[in-house]
Amino acid sequence: MRGTISSERYITILEQFVSTQLDLEDRPRIEWFIHDGSRPHRAEKVFRFLVEFFENKVTALDYPKFTGTGMDWPPYSPDLTPCDYFLWGALKDIVYGNHPSTLDELELAISLACNSISVETLKDVMSNFILRLRNHISSNSEHFENIVF
């Protein structure tokens, strides 16, 4: 999706995500929804959408203040999700190593870089993600910097 992501565009993305999750009959539904604290994610209409579909099973900056439920994003812990602690860094090195000069070249470089990540690497990343989530829950959404991942 090209262009700036506003709260309205973000809700459209969330609607697509939710409809995909509802269509997956052979997989368990998402138990918790996690997103970071970027401005479009913290709009009132986004929180209302999340309340409707995920109720109290949301980890997000300011979500508990708005809804009274869910878990706040851990303070000083921006690297909770696989995109934050793995994907962005891995893609950056590969994508920008090719010096794309147009949006089309950038999109192609991102696609190629994503496809170059092995299944074994993704399994390791997801195992680490599960460990991070367990520590997030057991710390009651507090900072857990001394845990080695």
Tell me: do 54 and 92 sit in the same domain. Answer: no
Residues 1 and 12 in one domain: yes
Token pair listed for 32 = 């918790």
Domain count, the chain: 2
Whole-prediction pTM value? 0.64
State the residue range of the domain holding 55. Answer: 1-75
Of 75, 106, 137, which residue is a domain's last?
75
* Cα(63)–Cα(90) distance, integer angstroms: 29
- Per residue in 60-107, pLDDT (tens digit) is 888 888 888 887 777 666 577 787 778 888 898 889 888 999 999 999
Q: What are phi and psi of 58, to 5 degrees?
A: -130, 135
Q: Which residues contact 75 (CB under 8 A, 6 or more apart)?
A: 142, 143
Q: Are residues 60 and 50 in the same domain?
A: yes
CA distance 140 to 72: 9
Per-residue pLDDT tens digits for 104-125: 999 999 999 999 999 999 998 8
32-36, 58-62, 138-142 — which is least confidently predicted? 138-142
